[in-house]
Structure 1
Amino acid sequence: MTAEMKDEKARAAAWFRTLRDEIVAAFEALEASHDTGPFSDQAPGRFEVSETKRTADDGSDAGGGLMSVMRGGRVFEKVGVNISEVYGTLGERAQNAMAARKGIPGMKDDPRFWASGISLVAHMQNPHVPAVHMNTRMFWTPHAWWFGGGSDLNPCIEYAEDTAHFHAQQKKHLDPHGADLYPRLKEWADEYFYIPHRHRARGVGGIFMDDRCTGDWEADFALTQDIGRAFLPAYLPLVEKRRVQPFDDKDKEAQLVHRGLYAEYNLVYDRGTKFGLETGHDANAVLMSLPPLAKWV
């Protein structure tokens, strides 16, 4: 059995909050600085922040978080940066108990859990600017703890140099943790973000890990932090470069169709979406990842 790990939980939750604050500030700065090109005549977007709550079946507090969403900005059509810290009994709602506990050792005997993380999805105004996803999290039970998450790029109009930059930043931040780590997490992302019923990936990949527990909490936490630190230098330069490009109706059509692909993945395959809904977290926060508009052909 693991210890309660109160200090480690507090440090992880605090880090996710710090990362959230840095990203929100950077995204609002992008909005303020966009003064030429498409959508620059609109008011700069700002995040609307609301608390989310999770309540146990007996009405007791079971954690919650912050949902930060920006809609209709100059650069971002919809972006959410959510953090959460939830706890209680996994699968306490009878209809979800088996699904939520599946594959987690020891949960049949002691189903207590704690989880905290950050989740980000950005859908952009300009079709030349790639959509993006990032999340990192820590999960604890009386029997185990682990980290998970990563980030991946989802352009509807692909630029090889953008893909190369995004991956280079991931590699740069992962290499200090072992030269073999980036190739393994890249391959994992390629497998995880694949859409079987479409026979294709949902984007151009990135990095992904799950169930990360080497036995060295400090080392695994440091890796998780560097996955988060890689995000802004990997993504911001792409936004700054592409947000000024003109686009036409054909480009916008490609964006809407690609968003349909993104929605299919998140609703059918994404592990985080399933976990959030199965454990009773705020549905609006869980489904924040869905695009504001999409199209199917």
Structure 2
Amino acid sequence: MVPTEYGDLTDTTYKQTMRASLDPAVEVMWTGTDTVPPEITNAQAEKAAQLFGRKVFVWDNYPVNDYGNTSGRLLLAPYDKREGGLAAHLSGIVANPMNQPYASKVAVFGAADFTWNDRAYDARRSWPRAMSYLAGGDQAATAALLVFGDLEHLAPTFGSAPWQAQAPELAARVAAFWQAWDAGRRAQAIAALRPYAKAIATAPATIRGGAVQKGFTDDAASWLDTTELWGRATVDLLDALQAREAGDEAKAAALLAESRDLQRQARAIRVSPPRNRWGAAQPQVGDGVLDVFLAAADARLQR
């Protein structure tokens, strides 16, 4: 059963009555310390068992994307922040998928990996294997999926703080770019980031090249379209910076204009999956990282 109080660790009259009178054979589902918790630990699971008078069955609300903070999002981060050893404190775990079933396989693969051997589970190792599974073992397609997955890495909660950050790989590369740029190593900064920007731009075509499960490419279609535009915009803006450094103002201006137009096209795309509740929404791709970088780089070209 799913109790009314399914997402907390507060003792109440309701829980006291349940543990005193509910048949021990009845499974009780629990979502964690919130509907979408930032983590699930052994101590939390043990406390839940005490409150409900039995080991609970976790209804894990990842990667479900039917609530407001998931508007416009595919949730492709790995299954993570679940403590090894939970098997000793729970009666089971089930992952609640997105309304995009094939895209959900990334997280569901990780959940299955975790439940098979939670103490040995490593999200950093499992995530590439999930992408390889979707790509049928194709190395180029797997690499493209990892680039794309990084741009869809943000995992929201019901609050303002996500429990997994957006685009950690890209964020690290952008930070390295600005560190080199601000130290005067501008050509080095551009040369280091441009191949990854190109990888973003070309990842959608590689993913659609035939190796990746078609259901995934169908589920992710609008996000793939948007990713290509953001990637091309990033390449153009880096090339504009390079042209400026070379003293070619006309070329820099033309590339900047092209980048801005591609960004405008990306922002104009709308996705409205029939099974999602959030209606038409802009597909979110690397938001808070990629768009912020482009705005900052654009500002450098105005100086």
Greater helix share, 1 or 2? 2
Asked if these proteins are the same fold (TM beyond 0.5), I'd say: no
| Bigger relative contact order (CA 8 A; separation at least 6) | 1
Greater strand share, 1 or 2? 1
TM-score of the two chains, using structure 2 as the length reference: 0.27
TM-score of the two chains, using structure 1 as the length reference: 0.28
Larger Rg: 2
